[in-house]
Structure 1
Amino acid sequence: MKRAFSNRLLLVAVVVVGCLTLLCLGQLGLRLWDFHTLFRPDRIVENFRSMPDIFRSEDIPKGPNVYPLETSPRALPESFRFQGRTMLLKDWLVASDTTGMLVLADDKVAYEQYFQGNQQQSQAISWSVGKSFVSALVGIALADGSIRSVTDPVSDYAPTLKGSGYEGVPLQDVLQMASGIAFSEDYADPDSGINKLGETIALGGSADAWVAGLSQAEKPGRKHHYVSVDTQVLGMVLKGATGRSLTDYMTDTLWSRLGVECDGRWLTDNNGAEIAFGGLNLCLRDYARFGLLYLHGGRNLMGEQVVPEQWVQQSVHPSKDFLRPGRFEEEGQPNLGYGYQWWIPQGDEGEFMAVGVYGQFIYVNPVHRVVIAKNSAYKQYNVDGIRMEYEALEAFRAIARSL
């Protein structure tokens, strides 16, 4: 009798374990399928406004006060010039797979349109536009004393980086994408570092642990080499310095003070660590508010200093020769310079940009007092994505100069 009961109990245990295994394998398979179809042409638009529904994420609740954006509609230019040809603005919006664009002129909404099913409350994935938000958090952490200096090694704040290629690398070099780390950002190469990192996250692995396994390719502080893992390290530094998650720290120090009108979401890995290099999801109006914050030297619409003004200036001006714009041509255009997680075009209007893969932008033009936020789901990014980004810059310039 006891043996029969034991056998039945064993059978039940085997069935339960088998079911749990199948469930885990099913979830794993679903995560992999979601990852590998993320940019598929027939899914990309819906995916880009639904990332927190597909992957794990944490809330970034808005503050109690919304600072409204005034509206003053203005006509945009009908066309712009790029590389010797004229393009109609309405055709460019379609060709670049725009899902939303908002133009602020003199702090007022001059233009706001949504496309392909996106709406004013849609949470759009920022991709690398989120890097500029992480930079702002670093500036705030320096101001409140959580971080002592940009000359400190990142491994002082993130001990798991000791023994890695990041050990001893100054925070400033990581901010300027000059860490010297060995990593490939080629989205078209399935074996590149960026795709391997994404696959690790999709399979339930730790983003931070994966980054801590990287080695150095060259000495830091000598060459600009854009790699998303540098921003993940900034996230690790912020967590170590403040003792808080990025979500909590951003909520208290930035999001609750910006007067935003939407909650945000930050994608995380299975361990709950935020994907610092590109997991931020916000509505278009709040991306524009962030651009406005930097246009006003770190002050919000009520005039309160949220990000230190000195940090804003340091962030949008290259401090070393290898970071300045116009050193070479890329896609037939003067290359963009780099600051602290912001891109700087060549020119005399003080422009700076946050740029995300597949066509995400925050463009700021201080001379013309214009901020442009644009979300897209550019399907051909792996074919001519860099050219598309330079084309967008010329469209933004034409808009800013016309207003």
Structure 2
Amino acid sequence: MKHWKGISAIVLVVVLTLTASYWSNLQRLYMAVTLYDEDKIVENFRSMYTRFNAKTIPASSQPFAFPTAPGTLPDTFALEGQSLRLNDFLQDSGTTGLMVIKDGVTRVENYYLGETATTQHISFSMGKSFVSALFGMALAEGKIASIEDAVTDYVPELRGSGYDGVRIKDVLQMSSGVGFNEDYGDFNSDINRFSRAIALGTSLDAFTASLHRERAPGTYNHYVSIDTQVLGMVLDRVLDVSLTEYLQRRIWEPLGMQDEAYWLADDNGMELALGGLNVTLRDYAKFGWLYANGGRWQGQQLVPQQWVTDSVTPDAPHLMPGADNPLSSSPYGYGYQWWIPTDADDEFMAQGIYHQFIYIDPDQQLVIVKLSANHRFNDKSHQWRKKHLALFRAIGLHYQS
């Protein structure tokens, strides 16, 4: 009996020791597995940086606030002949924040479900558009010779992977040819495997190097979030500072970002370039306003104007918007980490899963930011994407009248 008690005590000590050693990983894994649960999603989306590794981006030393002239929202908007009540849709889609900037003035700044002006909300793939801006800046500085170069010219660790020899431009345009299942509703999809790998401390670089080619690069538009991680790896290799420091220096400080932000990172300190930013509603809007004005901010050209133009201009058949495009997996067009809606004039968007949007209409000088935590995101019967675009266009029309 004493012998078994002794063994039990040893086992208990071992279990407690292992639990203590891996407690952080277990917490992260639990959040990753339950991230989109109905009873947890709202709080999860505004607290991810407290559970995962995160780097801090300090607020600007000279914070900027848009002037304010409170306006209204339309009561309804239309989709395919159906009239939808705006407030009902905001509730149905789990909206946590909505901001409208028109002609450089804040007309709407609303918060829901406990969100506040100083709440940092996960960007998901809206963060990809920030990475695109950094890439354009680094290219202009000569840190990257050309987007015609292969990513493996800068990240040799990817030789032998699906990214071996792939042009930077094809990676920018989500046309790398790498196979990847981005279905968030599939527990075993590549993107969900990736989320669990991060929770368990797996290197982002190692996960990226494990992927394989599915198609010839530059021939088919297939959304692969890891493509953006590759862009982050290129930047990491050519910059003399981290991505976080570069973002703070080149965007956060000059744009007068009012709040600190957080960038999720792996256990090696590599940023989650594909979508790990945690930013307040009003600071997302400043980034949108920068792009609404061709990369200029208060008279200073921060992002090269040609880069902004190229970023939102599809330049090959597989990148063109249209529901019947056989060379694309999406009805939207694609640029350098920016989405171009169907039937767009000059509109473009940054988008993140579960309905994060920065909608930009430059000729109308309009920016709309919508943050959400919609647990029904994967229910395609709601036509979420079409409804959001109809909503944004209705708000634009509302402010033209």
TM-score strictly above 0.5? yes
* 2: CA distance, partners of 1:309 / 1:361: 22
1:381 maps to 377
**1:172 CA drift (Å):** 0.3
Equivalent residue in structure 1 for 2:223, among 214, 220, 226:
226
In 1, are the aligned partners of 2:93 and 2:372 still within 8 Å (CA)?
yes
Query: Is 1:133 aligned to residue 130 of structure 2?
Result: yes
Equivalent residue in structure 2 for 1:358, among 350, 354, 358:
354
Equivalent residue in structure 1 for 2:176, among 176, 179, 196:
179
* 1: CA distance, partners of 2:383 / 2:268: 37
For each residue in 1:322-355, what CA deviation from the matched residue of structure 2 results, as whole angstroms up to 9, or x when unmatched? Answer: 111125289xxx9211100000012353000011
Query: Is 1:402 aligned to residue 398 of structure 2?
Result: yes
**1:14 CA drift (Å):** 10
SS of residue paired to 1:312: helix
1:326 maps to 322
Between 31-40 and 108-117, the greater mean CA deviation after superposition: 31-40
Query: Is 1:342 aligned to residue 348 of structure 2?
Result: no
SS of residue paired to 1:64: coil
For each residue in 1:118-154, what CA deviation from the matched residue of structure 2 results, as whole angstroms up to 9, or x when unmatched? Answer: 0000000000000000000100000111111110111
**1:22 CA drift (Å):** 2.9
Query: Is 1:258 aligned to residue 255 of structure 2?
Result: yes
Q: TM-score, normalised by structure 1?
A: 0.92
2:45 maps to 48
Structure 2: where are the runs of 5+ without partners?
1-9
Q: TM-score, normalised by structure 2?
A: 0.93
Change (3 A) 1:385 1:50: farther
Query: Is 1:148 aligned to residue 149 of structure 2?
Result: no
What amino acid is aligned across from residue 392 of structure 1 in structure 2? H
What amino acid is aligned across from residue 64 of structure 1 in structure 2? S
* 1: CA distance, partners of 2:14 / 2:374: 43
For each residue in 1:46-73, what CA deviation from the matched residue of structure 2 results, as whole angstroms up to 9, or x when unmatched? Answer: 1111111121100011221122211112
> What does 1:66-81 align with in structure 2 at a 5 Å threshold?
66-81=63-78
In 2, are the aligned partners of 1:41 and 1:379 still within 8 Å (CA)?
yes
* 1: CA distance, partners of 2:150 / 2:160: 13
1:205 maps to 202
Between 44-53 and 239-248, the greater mean CA deviation after superposition: 239-248
In 1, are the aligned partners of 2:347 and 2:361 still within 8 Å (CA)?
yes
What amino acid is aligned across from residue 225 of structure 2 in structure 1? S
**1:181 CA drift (Å):** 0.2
**1:30 CA drift (Å):** 2.2
1:214 maps to 211
SS of residue paired to 1:38: coil
SS of residue paired to 1:381: coil
What amino acid is aligned across from residue 394 of structure 2 in structure 1? A
Q: How many residues align?
A: 388
For each residue in 1:160-218, what CA deviation from the matched residue of structure 2 results, as whole angstroms up to 9, or x when unmatched? Answer: 11121101100000000000001110111111110111111111111111111111111
* 2: CA distance, partners of 1:291 / 1:18: 49
Change (3 A) 1:385 1:376: farther
In 1, are the aligned partners of 2:67 and 2:105 still within 8 Å (CA)?
yes
* 2: CA distance, partners of 1:95 / 1:181: 35
* 2: CA distance, partners of 1:103 / 1:135: 23
* 2: CA distance, partners of 1:63 / 1:363: 24
In 2, are the aligned partners of 1:126 and 1:360 still within 8 Å (CA)?
yes
* 2: CA distance, partners of 1:104 / 1:45: 25
SS of residue paired to 2:99: strand
In 2, are the aligned partners of 1:349 and 1:367 still within 8 Å (CA)?
no
Query: Is 1:97 aligned to residue 103 of structure 2?
Result: no
* 1: CA distance, partners of 2:80 / 2:203: 43
**1:243 CA drift (Å):** 3.7
Query: Is 1:315 aligned to residue 317 of structure 2?
Result: no
* 2: CA distance, partners of 1:249 / 1:166: 25
What amino acid is aligned across from residue 297 of structure 1 in structure 2? G
* 2: CA distance, partners of 1:348 / 1:162: 38
* 2: CA distance, partners of 1:396 / 1:242: 37
SS of residue paired to 2:253: helix
Change (3 A) 1:348 1:266: closer
What amino acid is aligned across from residue 351 of structure 1 in structure 2? E
Query: Is 1:305 aligned to residue 301 of structure 2?
Result: yes
For each residue in 1:294-315, what CA deviation from the matched residue of structure 2 results, as whole angstroms up to 9, or x when unmatched? Answer: 0111011x22111000000000
SS of residue paired to 1:127: coil
Equivalent residue in structure 2 for 1:239, among 236, 245, 266:
236
In 2, are the aligned partners of 1:349 and 1:366 still within 8 Å (CA)?
no
* 2: CA distance, partners of 1:82 / 1:18: 57
In 1, are the aligned partners of 2:31 and 2:44 still within 8 Å (CA)?
no
RMSD: 2.0
Q: How many percent of aligned residue pairs carry the same amino acid?
A: 47
SS of residue paired to 1:382: coil
Query: Is 1:295 aligned to residue 302 of structure 2?
Result: no
In 1, are the aligned partners of 2:133 and 2:303 still within 8 Å (CA)?
yes
In 2, are the aligned partners of 1:103 and 1:110 still within 8 Å (CA)?
yes
What amino acid is aligned across from residue 188 of structure 2 in structure 1? D
Change (3 A) 1:328 1:386: farther
1:279 maps to 276
